[in-house]
Amino acid sequence: MSVRSPRRTASALTPRRGSRLDADTGENEDRVVRMLARLVSVGYVAYLALLTPAIIAESAHMDPWWPPITVATVFGLGLLPGMASFRSDTRLVRATAAAAAVAFLIAAATWGTAWNGPDLDPGDAFWLAAFPGLASLAALIAWPLSLAAAYLVLVCGATSVIVTAARGGWALSLLPSQIAFGIMFCALYFGAAAMAIRTVRLLDTTKETTYRAAAAAAAQRAQTVERERIDALIHDNVLSTFLAAGRGQPQTVVGPLAASTLAELDALQSRVGPDELFSWEQAVTHLRNSAAEADNRATFIVSHRDAAHPDELPADDIRTVGSALSEALRNSRRHAGIDARSSVTVRLTDALLSVDVIDDGAGFDPSALPPHRLGIAVSIVGRMRSLPGGSASVHSRRGSGTRIHLEWSLR
């Protein structure tokens, strides 16, 4: 039984479009959008509770069809963004927020067709004018800033006109100042929310750029290592063969040396192919070598292998796991302490390859890791996430050692 061949020709160190590394971008903005959606929905619930007496009292001034339809639509749709915020995909949050914003605008636009009077007292205001700023926050969730800002001006103006008209045109000369006050008051909260979204969007963009730069640097380092390996092969094998032949060495010396050199060159050439496969034994050998290159003192254990197992594994994917394994051991050597002991445990089933890198060193708090320390984020977690079906997790506490778990789904 064999698994899929790798579907890429570029280096596994470089994040690809569509990979889970790309999917993670915007996570901070999504988090703020979810929080803002829940705040908006809670606000709709609070306003419904506070305005219920006014809604009931002012329904006598309206056509019978307008109050129940408007209340159910405006407040019902206002609850949806908060409910949708518990889903992982924020597109539904934005769609429901857009529906809530449009519902409020339609309610303001149809008010005049249902108003019958009599006029309200000069000190009263129609209930719809109590929360245009909340509807504007829903618009900010759903639409770009410029469109949401235009919406804020529109609904503040519309609700001010409604209040003036409901009062029978009383103090019509004050309408411009009322509109200006309403816009300024709502803009305080609108501006704070817009700045929060803009800040986290900038953070996400900076984070993505930093990760890609670090991944590109890691790929460049890998190319340098590969170039050095080829240089060593040319010096130690090719030139040595030519030198032996040039000095008239016997065929018994030159022949085996030439054969060994050709075998090395063939292996180098076959490694370039994207469809190269490793047997299980070759995969284990590669992982063992990766561990030994990073820390030759680490214990290497193959703990379990199911009877139903893949006979062959994509070599390029195994090299990606090996690179993440090497980086995990290098991190352990640098930070665990000179007396720390490390172990590598490899498990293979019919559906999963997992690698655990464990040390008994000083440990650390993963949540307190400085943002500029990208060894774990990019070279381990990011590298595994660039692998289809790959993932990585870090478990550590101060004084309790560290466990880095690498996992690759074979299906």
- Per-residue confidence (pLDDT) for residue 4, from 0 to 100: 41
* pLDDT greater than 80 at residue 240: no
Q: What is the mean pLDDT of the chain?
A: 82
Q: Average pLDDT, stretch 308-319?
A: 80
pLDDT band at 23 (very low <50, low <70, confident <90, very high): very low
Helix 91-114 to helix 132-142 angle (10° resolution) is 140
* pLDDT greater than 80 at residue 216: no
* pLDDT greater than 50 at residue 12: no
- Per-residue confidence (pLDDT) for residue 67, from 0 to 100: 96
| 103-109 contact pairs (CB < 8 A, 24+) | 103/73, 103/74, 103/77, 103/78, 104/74, 104/128, 104/132, 104/135, 104/138, 104/155, 105/135, 105/151, 105/154, 105/155, 105/158, 106/73, 107/70, 107/73, 107/74, 108/155, 108/158, 108/159, 108/162, 109/158
* pLDDT greater than 90 at residue 11: no
- Per-residue confidence (pLDDT) for residue 94, from 0 to 100: 95
- Report pLDDT digits (tens) over 321-356: 988 898 888 888 877 777 888 999 999 888 889 999
- Report pLDDT digits (tens) over 124-180: 889 999 999 999 999 999 999 999 999 999 999 999 999 999 988 777 888 899 999
Q: Does this model's pTM top 0.75?
A: no
* pLDDT greater than 80 at residue 3: no
- Report pLDDT digits (tens) over 25-59: 477 888 899 999 999 999 999 999 999 999 999 99
Q: Average pLDDT, stretch 210-232?
A: 70
